[in-house]
Structure 1
Amino acid sequence: MIASTGKQKIQETDVQRIRRNKREILDSIYVTYLSVKLVPLHKLIIQFVFSLLLTLLYTTPMLADLLNVKNITDASLSLKLLVPSLYTIPQIALFCFLFKKNLLMFFRKLDKKQIKLSVLAGIFSFGIAIGIAGLFQYGLSYTSADNENTVSFVLSDTFGLIIQLLGEEVLFFSTFFFILKLFTYTEKPQYGISICISSVLSCVLFGLAHLSTYDYHIMQCLFIIGLPCFIKILLLLKTRNLWCAYTAHFVHDILGVLMLALGTLVNQQ
């Protein structure tokens, strides 16, 4: 009897925990929707257009040719930091200027629980990406891009990655917030549908932004790069903290780099 009662209590606790998590996510969807509704549309348009244009410039050979870094194999750390800084710093500066009164809506101090959740989300999204990549390669006879720049990643490149990913997050969530803002003008708001559509379009644009990096393999960019970004949306709804999404993105990319580097070492032996 005692064992049965204890087991029942554990089951009830798990059910309550699931219900609480669902309730928190639904509350977060509502709060996120209302928060975006309070932000002026013109600010979201300016940030979205600026981030998109800067990304188009950054992902073309134009910037590398301009800085004469295209053929440099042993660049200094300062040079490696320069290019991603030119991409990220202008976006962050504009974001802080436009949303200086709303920064607490997007960024909060990370706590231990959020860090743990972000790391798990990054690992989970990486697992999804690997699963989709395996499905394409072995199930659908799909050949992915051979990204030599990622394979030759060295430790000093981590600093550039830290900077670049912050700019990518600004692009991703400026797209998400801009599209979500358009839904706030409907007479009868559909919170769940608006979040889903905004998420899908943001993931698509984010995936397409990686076309030049992955040799213009559109399927790879949409499904292996873009689709796992849904995890970041869920993470945002859970924590309402963009630092969590950034941390998860960093963990995701670092795992990819480590896997490619390990594969390269194995093939060389």
Structure 2
Amino acid sequence: MDYPFIQGQTPEISRNGWIKIIIVNIISVLLLANGIIHGILTSILNWIPGFSHGGQNMLYQPSLANVFAGILTGVIFLSINIWGFSSTVGPRWKELFKPLKKNDFWQILKYFILSMVVGIVTGLIANRLFGHEVNPANRIQASHPGAWLVFLEGRVENLFQLLGEEFIAIAPFLALLQLGRLKKWSSKFSFWLALIVSSILFATYHLSTYGYNLGYALMGLTFTRMVLTLPYVKTKNLWVSFAVHYLYDLFSFLLSFLVVVS
């Protein structure tokens, strides 16, 4: 298993090191989900002249404070998760990333298509079994004046937030692979355990997004996350899984943006 940090006979990251990284992951998610970072940043930015004024409809005409707070929240979320790794392994956290190769673009396209298929199917099943839940980011519609600017602002924010989400998805995956190596489990068992458990954990991180509907979050996100992790498994390059994740969210949000969602 040529994954970073778990090569060789001696683990590159100790058990306590992985626990620290995952705790940092959880703290970053809680700060993001509860709107703590966004609220603090908005309050600070409101002091800048002109930043506190928005239109009558704050959804489509947000204040500059709200716009910049959203983007900076994504930056801080990503930074917290990078710090979790860098404070444990130093500059070697960059081993999660590699330069993109020609074949990587084929992997991106392949897994993007697969993720869309799985996401649509599991989303429909989740709706049927656990009720209809809508991601708050899907509230805006293209037919409303000013909607495209809000949509584009969200995609800029996603550049940082989704890369941070790749850290919180891959960290437990790698930690469980290392655990399997130490326990001398078979590589196949370790892989599937790591993939399934890390994907379930990722789904639970999104509970607040879907009204704390546990069944919906698990059904709607676990299998899609498994697909989103596979390009990392294939390439050992977080840029590839991030690209697939970003394209998946971009086209999912674009679809709901152009089609009325109730």
Which deviations, in whole Å up to 9, do the C-alpha atoms of 1:135-177 show, x marking residues without a partner? 3435x4x422123433325112211100000111111111111
User: 2:211, 2:175 → 1: CA distance?
Assistant: 28
Contact 1:123–1:251 (CA under 8 A) maintained in structure 2: no
Structure 1 counterpart of 2:135, which letter?
N
**Alignment coverage as a number of residue pairs:** 233
Gaps of 5+ in 2: 44-56, 141-149
Gaps of 5+ in 1: 1-29
User: Within 5 Å, which residues of 2 pair with 1:147-166?
Assistant: 147-152=135-140, 154-166=151-163
Contact 1:119–1:251 (CA under 8 A) maintained in structure 2: no
Contact 1:129–1:224 (CA under 8 A) maintained in structure 2: yes
Report how far residue 58 of structure 1 moved: 1.5
1:38: which partner in 2?
Answer: 11
Structure 2 counterpart of 1:256, which letter?
S
The farther-off stretch of 81-90 and 199-208 is 81-90
1:167: which partner in 2?
Answer: 164
1:86: which partner in 2?
Answer: 76
Q: SS of the residue aligned with 2:210?
A: coil
TM-score, structure 2 normalization = 0.79
User: 1:40, 1:245 → 2: CA distance?
Assistant: 22
- Superposed CA RMSD in Å reads 2.5
Structure 2 counterpart of 1:115, which letter?
F
Contact 1:119–1:247 (CA under 8 A) maintained in structure 2: no
User: 1:66, 1:248 → 2: CA distance?
Assistant: 31
1:194: which partner in 2?
Answer: 190
User: 1:184, 1:203 → 2: CA distance?
Assistant: 20
Structure ranking higher in helix proportion: 1
1:238/1:88 Cα in 2 relative to 1: closer, same or farther (>3 Å)?
A: same
Which deviations, in whole Å up to 9, do the C-alpha atoms of 1:185-215 show, x marking residues without a partner? 21x3311101111111101110010011111
1:212: which partner in 2?
Answer: 208
User: Within 5 Å, which residues of 2 pair with 1:27-176?
Assistant: 30-32=1-3, 34-35=6-7, 38-41=11-14, 42-68=16-42, 73=59, 74-76=62-64, 77-100=67-90, 102-103=92-93, 105-138=95-128, 140=129, 142-152=130-140, 154-176=151-173
Report how far residue 239 of structure 1 moved: 0.8
Structure 2 counterpart of 1:195, which letter?
F
Q: Which has the higher contact order (CA 8 A, sep 6+)?
A: 1
User: 1:107, 1:169 → 2: CA distance?
Assistant: 11
Larger Rg: 1
Tell me the percent identity: 21
2:53: which partner in 1?
Answer: none
User: 1:120, 1:198 → 2: CA distance?
Assistant: 22
The farther-off stretch of 33-42 and 107-116 is 33-42
Report how far residue 119 of structure 1 moved: 2.8
Q: SS of the residue aligned with 2:227?
A: helix
Which deviations, in whole Å up to 9, do the C-alpha atoms of 1:1-45 show, x marking residues without a partner? xxxxxxxxxxxxxxxxxxxxxxxxxxxxx3239538632223222
Contact 2:177–2:191 (CA under 8 A) maintained in structure 1: yes
User: 2:93, 2:70 → 1: CA distance?
Assistant: 29
TM-score, structure 1 normalization = 0.77
